[in-house]
Amino acid sequence: MKSYSPTTPSRRHMTTVDYGVLSQEKPMKSLIAKANKKSGRNNQGRITTRHQGGENKKKYRIIDFKQQVFDIPAKVETIEYDPFRTAFIARIVFANGRRNYILATNTMKVGDSILFSAKAPLKDGNRMELQNIPIGYMVHNIELSPKKGGQIIRSAGSYAEVLAHDNGYTSIKMPSGEIRKFLWNNYASVGQISNPDHSLVNIGKAGRSRWLGIRPTVRGSAMNPVDHPYGGGEGKAQRGTRRPKTLWGKITGGKKTRNKKKYSTNLIIKRRK
């Protein structure tokens, strides 16, 4: 982590991730795309998600989550910053000349060789079927359905742990503590995602949140009664409602929101705490 001299009140506690591990090259033009800002608005311009707006301009990096170029060795060319995600990304070049962006692992360095194969060597960054990954190994970018591409465990510093293989399924412990079964012919990448220090970042000032597209959040208790269930009262009033509610009066705080008929319920061995 990088800290700063307290030249201003906001600098006193501000911290950032040390980007010294990143390559000094610009992103590859053929692998970036324009991403239109929504700022939490729908096609009528009405706010559908609060507290979003502003932010710096940024280009979207096209990440290969499927990683289906099998049995062709690849080499890591760069480790780069991605403004659309918390993890770092790596630009790789295959032996046939093709280039892709993938999620970088915590130990990945420029010049490393990686391989995507059903039975690849057990090395950080390699991708293979879950049934070929031994118990106790860390994995990320896991498929929920075969050949659909990695959909979970993709944020900075995250990883899941392989616990068991049995009867066509692999049991995996998720970062939340939930233990869940996956088809063992699904693919996953070995290792922990890069940038584990992301969770330690101290924003430091309100303006830095605005750069990220985060607008201010007003407490319900500071509003008028017409605007929120917690609004009104003289001074610091009590909540005034038996159960915690959202702005729209929906019950929150402890209420189960998962669909009881969800297809994947029977794959969950142990729910998260």
- pLDDT of 195-233, one tens digit each? 999 999 999 999 999 999 999 999 999 999 999 999 999
pLDDT above 70 as % of the chain: 100
pLDDT at residue number 273: 83
Which of 67, 103, 65, 78 minimizes the C-alpha distance to 27?
A: 78
pLDDT at residue number 241: 87
For CA atoms 95, 98, 103, 109, the dihedral sign is: positive
pLDDT at residue number 195: 96
Ranges in the chain, pLDDT < 50: none
pLDDT at residue number 158: 97
Burial level of 31, CB count in 10 A (0-12/13-18/19+)? middle
Q: Residue type for 191, please? A: G
Among the CATH numbers 2.40.50.140, 2.60.40.290, 2.60.40.10, 3.30.360.10, which is that of 18-199? 2.40.50.140
pLDDT at residue number 119: 93
Residue with tokens 């990695």: 150
Q: How far apart are the first and last CA of the chain?
A: 30
pLDDT at residue number 254: 86
Q: How long is the chain?
A: 273
Q: Cα separations (Å) of 25 from 56, 91, 137? A: 20, 11, 32
- 163: tokens are 């616990």
